[in-house]
């Protein structure tokens, strides 16, 4: 026999008033355990789909005749390929010799070394350009111009920030 929820409620309230926290926790836990579980009835989702006019699609993928034919044709093609693969590989093997493979490797290494040389030449050019620009910007006149630009941008940012925050209003915020 389940205890009545009102008894647990009364015990919990009495324990809270008397500052007996452990008894209050036990009574509150018992009261929550007495509550019914909230769960939808069986078939709820099916009824919702039916009422909305949406029936859940429950199809067997392999029930389709077209799919079965495609799978059968694929298996036949795979088996024929497995039967014909060794003779085809032998025929292709006769077309390519070991000297052809070595020549291809040598050409690949030569092409890679030419590409590396091109990249190194480009890197050397970029390095010399960077050195030229750094020497140019290290002049006192260029440093003064850069400092003036930074000062102008800082002042512009300050005025822009003051303009943006000056237009805001804090009336929509609740007081703390």
Q: Determine the average pLDDT of the residues in 96-102.
A: 84
State residue 51's pLDDT score: 83
pLDDT digits (tens, 9 = 90+) for 106-159: 999 999 999 999 999 999 999 999 999 988 888 899 999 999 999 999 999 999
Closest by Cα among 27, 31, 32, 30 to 14:
27
Q: What angle do CA 52, 56, 61 make, to 5 degrees?
A: 160
Q: What pLDDT, on the 0 to 100 scale, is given for residue 1?
A: 46
């Amino acid at each position: 026999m389940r205890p009545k929820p009102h008894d647990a409620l009364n015990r919990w309230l009495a324990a809270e008033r008397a500052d007996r926290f452990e008894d209050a926790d036990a009574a509150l836990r018992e009261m929550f355990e007495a509550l019914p579980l909230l769960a939808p009835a069986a078939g709820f989702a099916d009824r919702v789909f039916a009422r909305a006019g949406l029936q859940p699609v429950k199809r067997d993928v392999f029930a389709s005749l077209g799919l079965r034919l495609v799978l059968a044709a694929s298996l036949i093609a795979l088996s024929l390929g497995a039967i014909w693969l060794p003779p085809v590989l032998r025929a292709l093997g006769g077309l390519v010799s070991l000297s052809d493979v070595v020549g291809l490797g040598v050409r690949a290494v030569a092409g890679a070394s030419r590409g590396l040389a091109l990249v190194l030449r480009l890197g050397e050019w970029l390095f010399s350009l960077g050195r030229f620009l750094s020497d140019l910007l290290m002049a006192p006149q260029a440093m003064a111009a850069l400092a003036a630009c930074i000062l102008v941008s800082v002042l512009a940012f300050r005025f822009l920030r003051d303009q943006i925050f000056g237009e805001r209003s804090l009336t929509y915020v609740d007081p703390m």
